[in-house]
Structure 1
Amino acid sequence: MKIGIDAGGTLIKIVRQYDNYREYETVPTTEIDKVIRWLNNHSCDDISLTGGHAATINQQLNCSAHIFVEFDAAAKGLNILLNEQGHDLDNYIFTNVGTGTSLHFSDGNTQSRVGGIGAGGGMIQGLGYLLSGIKDYEELTDIAQSGNRELIDLKVKHIYKNTEPPIPGDLTAANFGNVLHNIDVAFTASDKLACVIGLVGEVITTMSITVAREHNTEHVAYIGSSFHNNFLLRKVVEDYTILRGFKPYYVEHGAFSGALGSIILQ
């Protein structure tokens, strides 16, 4: 068994690679000591580390493990997952939506980081808490799935009420820009949280297609732990990417790309 660990700011992603199959697991970074105790029962030759807390883990192991740059590891693991899932791409942008969001260009062999933004899972959780008082990410995203964005977000179609708009009417003209037009409405927590997810999804998509255009590719692969239990974020990202004329790819187990790639790079 080979073990790949991507120790991020919020979650530790673990891949256990056997001869014919893999196991995937996530552990909160707050439980890093438990992960270290578990790893100390294994040979360091079988352990590969990446991510912001990789050095912290390595310092407390009984011996030195293999450490890799997280961007290179994510690119390597993602390319494997894309091929396994039937997507043979030789150039694409991949957008890693974790606590924040990092954007990369890949030619299938090497990657280069082409941007990054602060909108991501951390924004969903932090702003979501400020608007709803909900701390738990899964509870927050569960509630958001049934929310209605129409009363809070100002769409292009709301501005061009009696005429054909020059751009698609479903595009967001202003996130949260419709609130004062519906001041007497009691906005639910679901509505507010859905709009937070919509905001994050549209920001990361806009950045993704901008750098995709700059690098002459129409392909954008979306990965990251923020998609966990969050079909709404996936839908916003996919629909908005298509609406802007690009091709989105949601990658199953994409959040584990770094952990998987660290095993392959060993």
Structure 2
Amino acid sequence: MQQTADQQVHNLIRGAGKAKGERGRAKMDIVESKQISEPIKSEAQISHLALDIGGSLIKLVYFSTNSDSSSSSSKDSVAVSSGNEGRPVLEGKLHFAKFETAKINDCIDFIRSKQLRLSGFQKHGAPAGERCTIKATGGGAYKYADLFKEKLGICLDKEDEMDCLVAGSNFLLKAVHTEAFTYMDGQKEFVQIDHDDLYPYMLVNIGSGVSMIKVDGPGKFERVSGTNVGGGTFWGLGRLLTKCKSFDELLELSHRGNNRVIDMLVGDIYGGMDYTKIGLSSTTIASSFGKAISDNKELEDYKPEDISRSLLRMISNNIGQISYLNALRFGLKRIFFAGFFIRGHAYTMDTIAVAVHFWSKGEAKAMFLKHEGFLGALGSFMSYEKHGFLNLKVHQLVQQSPVDASRGGDKIHDPPNGELNENQSIDCSICLS
């Protein structure tokens, strides 16, 4: 009987382990590929699904083998070729997708349509036909566990959320040579990370709320602070004030806005002058939404785009300031910002970067991650290693940003310069040894 792709992968991994003994577990080498990413084909073999189910969004990561690889003997076989030192290689792609948690059925339909439920690993020694078990993290892994069992026959094997965030961050910073970058005044500059000098650093994950995590090494971290004013605040308040129906619509609206119509600036208080004694320019925001106090206007008199811009500026400024103050507590000058609040949005990144630069007097820099929203999902994906399925030995990844699968492949968001979003998958190879 012909084996499925997962059975072949599983047997390859088990065989490699037996050949090498206890220390010879499967190794995954992520290597740079110059191939252009293409949409996943129907005949591609899919495996290693992992989820991060948050309060606002569901993030999904999965690996598919290249069915059209020159090393494949047929469409039904796994693409296996000889790697360095004769090691077998599974060539394929890491795919990323996201869905609104409120529309969780869209995610379930996507998993069903891709037959991703067939790709999870059964528990060792479990009888054939037992429900598939896949890795998942986030509060929704608990909240929606019964729903996944009912709809897909999937059992969610839960991984700790903070463990996954840090594991995903460490993985990306070591694996992707163009993962981290700074962004200020419209200028994007990649930062080369010295793997021997990565730790300690501050990881600021901006989801519905914000977590600030001091990372001291692999598996060594502490959540040192956080704030409840985050992406959920922007989305929630924005929906109430502008009637926008989605985060992306609200973000798009901010492009056309002018926050100075609503925000009270230092110059508004000082007659257009700077307050030089304490280092405040006339354009510094003295009070977010402050002009609404004195304006004899109702909510409908303000443009939704101005409200969106002011709200985005307020939240981004505060996250940047609070993050730096917490980094200062521990003497950290390296701060990485991640989470789907950012979405490669130029104005958001610039605002956070300016806040860090201002409060640190230029001594610290805000850095951003290309795979900003998928740290938890990647960490969940990597947790298969704990069970002997994957042992990640990292070289390089070709970074490409994800799409929103629920919107039929549209880009998540196009910043004004259009340079921060590319395609949806990462070309990679899994080397087994």
Tell me if both proteins adopt one fold, taking TM over 0.5 as the criterion: yes
Find the partner of 1:148 among 255, 258, 283: 258
| Equivalent in the alignment of 2:290 | 177
Q: Is the 8 A contact 1:156 1:165 kept in 2?
A: no
CA offset at residue 21 of structure 1? 3.3
Letter in 2 for 1:68: E
| Equivalent in the alignment of 1:54 | 141
Q: Report SS of the residue matched to 1:194.
A: helix
Letter in 1 for 2:163: D
Counting only pairs closer than 5 Å after superposition, residues 118-157 of structure 1 correspond to structure 2 as 118-157=228-267
| Equivalent in the alignment of 1:43 | 120
Q: Residues of 1 paired with 2:103 and 2:244: CA distance?
A: 21
Find the partner of 2:94 among 22, 27, 33: 22
Q: Residues of 1 paired with 2:307 and 2:250: CA distance?
A: 11
* Residue 215, structure 1, aligned to residue 369, structure 2: no
Q: Percent identity?
A: 26
Aligned-CA RMSD value: 2.4
CA offset at residue 34 of structure 1? 5.3
Greater CA drift, 76-85 or 189-198:
76-85
**Structure 1 pair 177–2 and aligned structure 2 pair: CA distance change class (3 A):** same
| Equivalent in the alignment of 2:372 | 254
Q: Residues of 2 paired with 1:165 and 1:131: CA distance?
A: 36
**Structure 1 pair 49–152 and aligned structure 2 pair: CA distance change class (3 A):** same
Letter in 1 for 2:247: Y
Q: Residues of 2 paired with 1:90 and 1:57: CA distance?
A: 35
State the structure with more CA Rg.
2
Find the partner of 1:166 among 246, 261, 278: 278
Q: Residues of 2 paired with 1:34 and 1:42: CA distance?
A: 19
Counting only pairs closer than 5 Å after superposition, residues 235-246 of structure 1 correspond to structure 2 as 235-245=350-360, 246=364
Cα deviation code 1:149-208 (max 9, x no counterpart): 122212334434445241232442211123345557953211111000011101211210
Q: Residues of 2 paired with 1:195 and 1:250: CA distance?
A: 22
Find the partner of 2:166 among 66, 75, 79: 75
Letter in 2 for 1:122: G
**Structure 1 pair 75–171 and aligned structure 2 pair: CA distance change class (3 A):** farther
Q: Residues of 1 paired with 2:268 and 2:95: CA distance?
A: 47
Greater CA drift, 129-138 or 6-15:
129-138
Q: Report SS of the residue matched to 1:225.
A: coil
**Structure 1 pair 128–63 and aligned structure 2 pair: CA distance change class (3 A):** closer
| Equivalent in the alignment of 1:87 | 193
CA offset at residue 112 of structure 1? 0.9
Find the partner of 1:32 among 76, 90, 104: 104
> Normalising by structure 1, what TM-score?
0.89
Find the partner of 1:100 among 181, 184, 209: 209
* Residue 265, structure 1, aligned to residue 337, structure 2: no
CA offset at residue 263 of structure 1? 2.0
> Normalising by structure 2, what TM-score?
0.57
**Structure 1 pair 159–219 and aligned structure 2 pair: CA distance change class (3 A):** farther
CA offset at residue 247 of structure 1? 1.0
Q: Residues of 2 paired with 1:146 and 1:78: CA distance?
A: 33
Letter in 2 for 1:21: K
Q: Is the 8 A contact 2:99 2:106 kept in 1?
A: no
Structure 2, unaligned stretches of length 5 or more? 1-46, 65-89, 123-132, 180-191, 385-433
Q: Identify, as 1 or 2, the structure richer in helix.
A: 1
Letter in 2 for 1:10: S
